[in-house]
Amino acid sequence: MKNTLAGKVLIYFFGLGSLLQWPMAALAENDSESASYNQSVETLKRDVLELNRDLLILEEELLYPSSTQLVMFLSMDVGTFFELDAVKVKVDGKLVIAHLYTERNIDALFRGGVQKLYVGNISSGEHEISAFFTGKGPAGRDYKRAAKLSIEKGADPTILELKIVDSSAKEQPDFEIKEWQP
């Protein structure tokens, strides 16, 4: 079904492109017709953007139904004790995401940004989530830590937050996985 939908969307956009090209030369001569044409093009652009948004929402609903959806976010409140390089996440021992971070990514996270790290499907029942964080720890040494969480997947979407927080009491970063309630 995904290929069929994608094919229809591509045909629609290619057809739209050819429709927009042919009247350009003829309408350029008359300013009032040109203004009307520009208004029509703007309306058509808005319609295409709305259609694209609707198709993306439909695709997400089809690929990730709420009864099986697992979403993970990453946030950090770090600066002194840890510099993040990479994150790997496993669900029931299978790697689902591995992400390397750039300076720009890290800067966005330091400013309070939250990264949508993973969206996927898991079956109902009990699952174990493991997250592995690598980077530079205190005194610039290589640092690798893990956090684990066991969850019970029900009918609602499961939303998890992987958190990295400085602990000034321990002078170490803390890594945890927290489940959000929908």
Sheet holding 125-136, edge to edge: 94-100, 83-91, 125-136, 142-153
Distance of CA 100 to the CA centre of its chain: 15
> Model pTM greater than 0.85?
no
Domains of the chain: which residue ranges? 2-63, 69-180
CB 92, CB 126: distance < 8 Å: no
> Which token pair is 164?
């990295």
> Which token pair is 104?
């720009």
Which of 71 and 10 is assigned the larger pLDDT? 71
Topology of domain 69-180 in CATH is Immunoglobulin-like (2.60.40)
Whether the pLDDT of residue 1 is over 50: the answer is: no
For the stretch 41-97, pLDDT in tens is 899 999 999 988 888 878 777 776 677 889 999 998 866 778 889 999 999 999 999
Helices (H), ranges, the chain: 2-21, 24-27, 31-63, 103-110
Predicted pLDDT at 129: 94
Whether the pLDDT of residue 172 is over 50: the answer is: yes
For the stretch 121-160, pLDDT in tens is 888 889 999 999 999 887 778 889 899 999 998 888 899 9
83 CB-contact burial (10 Å; exposed 0-12 / middle 13-18 / buried 19+): middle
Which of 32 and 10 is assigned the larger pLDDT? 32
15 CB-contact burial (10 Å; exposed 0-12 / middle 13-18 / buried 19+): exposed
CB 145, CB 175: distance < 8 Å: yes
Whether the pLDDT of residue 13 is over 70: the answer is: no
